[in-house]
Amino acid sequence: MTPDITLYSPAAALVVFTSNGSESPYIEYYEMDESGCPINPHPLTVREAQSLAKAIDTREQAGKAFLRPEGLLPNNVLHIDPSANGSVVWYTKPQIQELHFVESLNLQSGRVALPALVWRATKKELQLFALNGKAKPTAKTLLYNAPFFNLYRKGHVCMGTVNVQIKQAATLQEFITAWEGYFFGSYFSHHIDSHNPVNQNLMSLYRELMDTKNAFPCETLTETSLTLKNLL
């Protein structure tokens, strides 16, 4: 998986001049040409100062809003780090989801019963694990490998070509909904480093679940060396 990279180019620059004996600085505004060189110097105008103040205020407000709950804290949320590069750990109960597969797997998309899952996500990265049971996990709960393709051994998800764009001011609910949507909306393609997360053929298991509509057989899950505490 190649991480998304956001490129920034200089658009303007400010230079603050001070003088001995003067308490008021002089601020000069420079525009930037295509090569990033300063051009068109002029005193900072009121409009430019107001635009700068608005941009600073918008970023500050976005930082305060990031991962803020919409009302009461959802019961499935296990941990929140609301810093600028924060993260959320949450779990989902056993569910049935439509899974999508690349054509080369020769496996039709279909609805599959899944076990309870534990998710840990930042703005750019997702880890996913399974639970052997339905109860809300505690810090000591053992984590199992999530039964999906495109996962590394430590639960990190390869999102492939999915363009993950989490809003700077995403609320807690928006953040969780976005990540679950990105994951279940992606196309599963392969085992990474020969890592099979279950103790049988994963494609055969999917076909069986699609055909029988049975609940996910938790006895097929394989243990990790991690507990929930390791994700906090």
Q: What is the CA radius of gyration of the chain?
A: 24
109 and 27, same structural domain? no
pLDDT at 49: 67
Q: Which amino acid is at 7?
A: L
Domain boundary among 43, 65, 87: 65
pLDDT at 55: 60
- 24-55: string of b/e by CB count within 10 Å (b at 16+)? eeeeebeeeeeeeeeeeeeeeeeeeeeeeeee
What string of DSSP letters covers 167-204? -TT--HHHHHHHHHHHHHHSEE---STT--SBSS-HHH
Tell me which residue of 74, 76, 51, 83 sits closest to 168, measured CA to CA: 83
Residue 95 lies in a domain: yes
pLDDT at 2: 41
83 and 61, same structural domain? no
Write out the residue range of the structural domain in which residue 109 sits: 77-231
Residue 7 lies in a domain: no
161 and 55, same structural domain? no
Q: What is the pLDDT of residues 48-99, one digit of tens each?
A: 766 765 665 545 444 567 899 988 999 999 999 987 678 999 999 999 999 9
Q: What is the pLDDT of residues 112-171, one digit of tens each?
A: 999 999 999 999 999 999 999 999 999 999 999 999 999 999 999 999 889 999 988 899
